[in-house]
Amino acid sequence: MTLAHFNIDDVVRVLNPIQSVIKNRSNSNLKFNTDTRSLGANEWFIALNGNNFNGHDYIKNAINAGCQGVIIDDIKYLNSQSQNIILVDNTLNAYHKLANLWLKKVNPTIIAITGSSGKTTTKEICAQVLERISNFTHKSANNENNEFGVPKTIFNMSQDCRYLVVELAMRGLGQIEYLANTVDPNYGIITNAGVAHIELLGSKENIIRAKCELLVKMNSSSLSKLAIIGENNDSLTNYAKSVYNKKLKIFNDTSIKITDTTTYFTSFVSDDITYEMPNYGMAILQDAWCVIQVLKDIGIDAQLIKKYLKEYTPIQGRGNKITNKSGSLIIDESYNANPDSVKAAIASIQNKLAYSQTKKIVVLGQMAELGDASDKLHEAIGAYINDTDITHLITIGQEAQKINDKAKLLENNNFSTWQKACEYIKNIGLDENTLILIKGSRVAQLDNLVKELALI
């Protein structure tokens, strides 16, 4: 059951349908859903279409579930049903128009976050702080960051929502623009622009251009207040400044200063205030810096930000730490991987104050969506590892073998499955002096390896 609700006159006005059959125009509590499995009896069904599905095939299911009406973009369904019907040019566009209408009705402070890596972590840091400040905080759930997920997040936002933290992902040029037009944020964060999705965009320049579509939208919006860039990247900065002429803050080498580090927290100074995060690694500190800038501009007291940053808890697969029965420390980065995030994760475990273990095992699965550059980028990770204090490198899968080929460690192995890798790791001799970093794209299924090693 979705929370967004509308009156029929507003719906017709915003959608401007090609044709419609409305039997009851007095309904002021109209609700919509796109999934017949969760469709409420008093909701309308929006028949969305994707690459692998056609929502119109589920109209009969929606009717059987007791839906009040349907929104369609295929005229052949117009006269085939007896209930309310709205025919539009494109049901996905209609979904986004209704999401934007709900945003305008609720009028929360909106923080939109994108980037090649770190966007989910930044979203979680921001949302977790705001959730402790206000119960009326809403955020993107799970993978609700694409053209289907963003409006779903908005539809599940309550009318009392005060802060909305939304993640924007993309697979090509124009997609962040499409999402940003729906969200129309007050605050925008670009965490970075790396080589993730280069298969789809073809070049680093196109990646930067795609990320900055968020800023293009904000530059034309009367609602925008501040944009943040979370890395010191001249190409990204220069392009951002060419499309955005409003208030902009950019991370640089003096933005934060680390003052203390252990395995379980890092203290750092930003703008003369000392903050503490229960993590180590420059990448996550840069994400935290982005959040601090936004929250301070919103008007959140710095002491509250400081208090709640310290309580941040990473979600599973995003850097959470597990100490197994043998005393080994497992860093679970199994949710996803791209060349920049892999290097950042490996760099983080080099700090001996944070990670004093002398036996450092790195387990890497393949990195997806790298296209023709895949071999080269996997090999570059292997070369990068040669300059670290890693003692054991384990790669899983054919693509990840390219990492192994360039690494020169004495303990250097590739396995076809995570199960075979697990058996090898068990025989290494795990103890309190062992650290295991596990990272790979979701297709590598390394979350299963994490679960297994956690029991040893």
pLDDT per position as a tens digit, 43-94: 999 999 988 899 999 999 998 888 899 999 999 888 755 679 999 999 999 9
Distance (Å, whole) CA 411 – CA 391: 7
Distance (Å, whole) CA 111 – CA 428: 45
DSSP reduced 3-state for 179: helix
Question: Amino acid identity of 8?
Answer: I
pTM here is 0.92
Question: How are strands ordered across the β-sheet holding 137-139?
Answer: 137-139, 163-167, 109-114, 187-190, 226-229, 248-250
Better pLDDT: 99 or 366: 99
Q: What is the pLDDT of residue 315?
A: 86
Tens digit of each residue's pLDDT (9 = 90 or more) over 172-181: 899 999 999 9
- Sketch out the chain's domains with CATH numbers: 8-89 (3.40.1390.10), 107-309 (3.40.1190.10), 320-453 (3.90.190.20)
| Helices (H), ranges, 246-348 | 282-298, 302-309, 339-348
The residue-averaged pLDDT of 359-382 equals 91
Distance (Å, whole) CA 440 – CA 426: 20
Rg of the chain in Å (alpha carbons): 24
Average pLDDT in the chain = 93
DSSP reduced 3-state for 404: helix
Distance (Å, whole) CA 337 – CA 320: 15
The residue-averaged pLDDT of 244-269 equals 95
Q: What is the pLDDT of residue 82?
A: 62
Tens digit of each residue's pLDDT (9 = 90 or more) over 129-164: 999 999 999 999 988 999 999 999 999 999 999 999
Among 2, 29, 11, residue whose Cα is nearest residue 157: 2
Distance (Å, whole) CA 21 – CA 390: 66
Categorize the per-residue pLDDT at 111 as very low, low, confident or very high, splitting at 50, 70 and 90: very high
Tens digit of each residue's pLDDT (9 = 90 or more) over 396-433: 999 999 999 899 876 789 999 999 999 999 999 899 99
Question: Is 74 exposed, middle or buried (CB count within 10 Å of its CB: 0-12, 13-18, 19+)?
Answer: middle
Per this entry, what is the length of the chain?
456
Distance (Å, whole) CA 73 – CA 90: 5
Tens digit of each residue's pLDDT (9 = 90 or more) over 311-333: 999 988 889 999 999 999 999 99
Contact yes or no for 337/440 (Cβ under 8 A):
yes
Contact yes or no for 50/31 (Cβ under 8 A):
no
